[in-house]
Structure 1
Amino acid sequence: MKYMLIMRAVDQRAVENFESTDVNEVIAAMGAYNESMVDAGVLADGAGLSDAEEGSVVDFSDDDPVVTDGPYGELRELFNGFWVVDVSTKEEAIEWAKRAPLGPGSQLEVRRINDIDDFPQDNEWIQKEQEWIDQGKLKTSRG
Structure 2
Amino acid sequence: MDFVLLIHGDEMLWDAFSESERRRMAEAHRRFGREMVEAGVNVKYGAGLTRSREGRLVRPDGPAVQGPYAVGREQIGGIWIIDVASAEEAESWARKMPYAPGDIVEVRPCDPTA
What range describes the TM-score normalised by the shorter chain of this pair? 0.7 to 0.9
List alignment gaps of at least 5 residues for structure 2: none
Which residue in the other structure is 2:32 paired with?
33
Q: Name whichever structure is richer in strand by fraction.
A: 2
Quick one: percent identity of the two aligned structures? Answer: 32
Taking a change above 3 Å as real, the CA distance of residues 21 and 106 of structure 1, as seen in their structure-2 partners, is farther
Radius of gyration: which is bigger?
1
| Superposition TM-score, scaled by structure 1 size | 0.67
Whichever residue aligns with residue 2 of structure 2, its letter is: K
Is 1:97 aligned with 2:94? yes
User: Map of 1:8-23 to 2, 5 A cutoff?
Assistant: 8-10=8-10, 14-15=13-14, 19-20=17-18, 22=20, 23=22
Shift of 1:66: 3.9
List alignment gaps of at least 5 residues for structure 1: 117-141
Greater relative CO, 1 or 2 (CA 8 Å, sep 6+): 2
Which residue in the other structure is 1:24 paired with?
23
Q: How many residues align?
A: 111
Assess if the C-alpha contact under 8 Å between 1:49 and 1:81 holds in 2: yes
d(CA) in 2 for partners of 1:11 and 1:81?
11
Taking a change above 3 Å as real, the CA distance of residues 29 and 37 of structure 1, as seen in their structure-2 partners, is same
1:110 is paired with a residue whose SS is: strand
Whichever residue aligns with residue 91 of structure 1, its letter is: E
Taking a change above 3 Å as real, the CA distance of residues 10 and 71 of structure 1, as seen in their structure-2 partners, is closer
Instruction: Report Cα offsets for 1:27-70 as digits up to 9, x if no partner.
Output: 2211110110111221121111112221112257xxx2342113
d(CA) in 2 for partners of 1:10 and 1:20?
15
User: Map of 1:1-143 to 2, 5 A cutoff?
Assistant: 1-10=1-10, 14-15=13-14, 19-20=17-18, 22=20, 23-42=22-41, 43-59=43-59, 64-73=61-70, 74-76=72-74, 78-116=75-113
Whichever residue aligns with residue 96 of structure 1, its letter is: W
